[in-house]
Amino acid sequence: MQHTLNQTHDPAARSWVESANAPTCDFPIQNLPFSVFRRRHSDEAFRGAVAIGDQVIDIAAWASRAGLNGIAGEGARVCAQPVLNEFFSMGPSAWRAVRHALFAALHERAPSDDRAALEACLIPQSEVEYGLPAQIGDYTDFYTSIHHATNISKLLGLSGVGANFKSIPIAYHGRVSSIGLSGQRFRRPAGQIMLPGEGAPIFSPSRKLDYELELGIYIGQGNAAGEPIALDQADSHVFGLCLLNDWSARDIQAWEMQPLGPFLAKNFATTISPWIVTMEALAPFRLPLPRPHTDGKPLPYLDSDRNSTTGAIDIQLEVCIETSRHQAGNLPAAQLSLTSFRHQYWSIAQMVAHHAAGGCNLRAGDLLGSGTISGPGQSEAGALMELARDASEPVTLNTGEKRSYVEDGDAIILRGHCEKAGFARIGFGESRGEVLPAKR
């Protein structure tokens, strides 16, 4: 049902909120992403919101004013809470009912009473601040781009990707407490580093701090412990997607990685965008999953015709860097790369199905990272380590500066949108994170 097209995907639909009708607007009536907000500089409680144009909708206030009934009313009133976990747990029927009711009330042909009730609940985005949309109980980060894996393997002098990469969606458990919203500022991490040619490690601030372009995947309805999630049902357990920057200290990671994987190299910061684009809104942008026939089929629990034909999503993704020089000169950020999520080797459904296959009970609000998103071209790399080839080919910015890794004062900005002939363009907003000097 998450893949089915309906009236909310009509490219001709327009809203009476004029800012939503701009051709490059991230939040037209066909999108309607969710978050939580409050008025800036207030002591109001955070509560659920939906974006339309340059406005946010106070969902619970709208439900009250509109006298919303049934599952749409129940779902909207639950959004009065400071996080959306309970709304997530209600499942696709409730998510769809609220989104469809909002679509009808925002449409340019909405009855005047419906419009008046909703108009009273609009607040300019410029006047609000956001909170984490969910209480994130667990965070799992995947490793699912064949292009990223191949590039990194070459840079590390390996003969190819690991033997298990094409058989299993690889992942590790991350740190929830350091997940922050766009605008996050954090100190450069420190840890043990083994310098080239040395016989013993040192403890030092990271000298190879990197970003990783990813998508965040919010679990909606969970599953009981010991109960796997079937591949073709996995998408119905996903509420939606956000932008995610999985910051990485490459030099710390290289030393601590064996035998159990990342630790201090990953636990200091993860930056996500505030808005969650629903899986329903993304339905028009589905594509076949790009698994070569020569790789053979995955095991049966990770294979289906539906996943093969609609498992990929064409989400255009951009990474930009804003240095201190950009900020001082009021200059536009420098673009580092452009790619698409459609290149990912493993689908979202496969990640979810594999996560639950061993008996793990996913819960509403859990967050999964897609893994670094890199395309086949050099300019499509999702990490600076790839772009600059581990400092052997530094990237030249529009300021004349060069970057091999992220430096103090740099901000990394992720943006994303979907665009396809015959459908409205929808966007994700942005995720911005800034690096501060290490604590001395």
Q: State the catalytic residues.
A: 148
Residues in the chain: 440
Which amino acid is residue 434, in one-letter code?
E
| Residues near 317 by beta carbon (within 8 Å), at least 6 away in sequence | 213, 215, 243, 338, 339, 340, 341, 373, 382, 414, 415, 416
396, 405, 397: which is closest to 331 by C-alpha?
Answer: 397
Spatial contact of 276 and 239, defined as CB atoms under 8 Å apart: yes
Query: What are the structure tokens assigned to 178, written together?
Result: 């350091």
Distance of alpha carbon 376 from alpha carbon 12, whole angstroms: 34
Backbone angles phi, psi at 187, to 5 degrees: -80, 145
Residue 133 near residue 84, CB atoms below 8 Å: yes
As a whole number of angstroms, the distance between CA 370 and CA 174 comes to: 12
CA 364, 96, 345, 372: dihedral to nearest 10 degrees?
A: -60
Distance from C-alpha of 214 to C-alpha of 247, rounded to nearest angstrom: 10
- Integer Cα distance of 43 and 279 in angstroms: 32
